[in-house]
Amino acid sequence: KSLMHKVEKSNLMVSRLASISEHCNDAIISRDMQGMILTWNRSAERILGYSQEECAGQPIWRFLSPTNPEMVLINNERLMCGEEVKMVELDLVDKRGCTVNLLCSMSPIKAANGDIVSVSCPLQDVTQKKNSERDRSQLEAKLREAEKLQSIGNLAGGLAHHLNNIL
């Protein structure tokens, strides 16, 4: 009975974790140590446009933006040592060919014997936030330019007034 209870408890835990992954708002991808995608949740499908079936068995590099192809390779060394990688920026390319800006954490997944066998990668889509920050920066630059032009206009107006008074 004790073994049966442990198996049921373990199955319940696996079921809970699968449900959390599937209903999470962030993308969750798992990959093996060679970079091949193992799992891809519904949010990853929504954010990147590819289904689990299209991605399973594909190399993660296939989805990397040309702006940061070395990102996974650099962090793979840290993961092989058992380190977690916290909140790094990662750009992936979605099915339409658009770049998606993500915040990525990577955690090694260990087998019962302690060997690192795969990596869990929760991904938070920050594309809209980055676009908003870029738009804000552009508006601030335009405002500074307008303020400079207004100052030049005020200076020119004052100079013209003084010249009129002299004449």
Q: Give the per-residue pLDDT at 12.
A: 83
In contact, 44 and 27? CB cutoff 8 Å: yes
What distances in angstroms separate CA 83 from CA 15, 40, 91, 156, one per listed residue?
27, 22, 22, 62
User: What CA–CA distance (Å, rounded) separates 86 from 57?
Assistant: 25
Measured distance CA(25)–CA(48) in Å, rounded: 13
d(CA 75, CA 88): 10
User: Taking the complete model, does pTM exceed 0.75, yes or no?
Assistant: no
CB 58 within 8 A of CB 29: no
**What distance lies between CA 38 and its chain's CA centroid?**
18
Q: What is the DSSP string of 5-60?
A: HHHHHHHHHHHHHHHHHHH-SSEEEEEETTSBEEEE-HHHHHHH---HHHHTTSBG
Q: What is the reported pLDDT for 35?
A: 87
Residue 71, pLDDT score: 65
- Tens of pLDDT along the chain (167 residues) come to 688 888 888 878 878 877 777 777 899 999 998 889 999 999 999 999 999 999 999 998 889 887 766 666 667 777 888 888 887 888 889 999 999 999 988 999 999 899 999 999 899 998 877 766 666 667 777 767 777 777 787 777 777 777 777 76
The secondary structure of residue 64, as a DSSP letter, is B
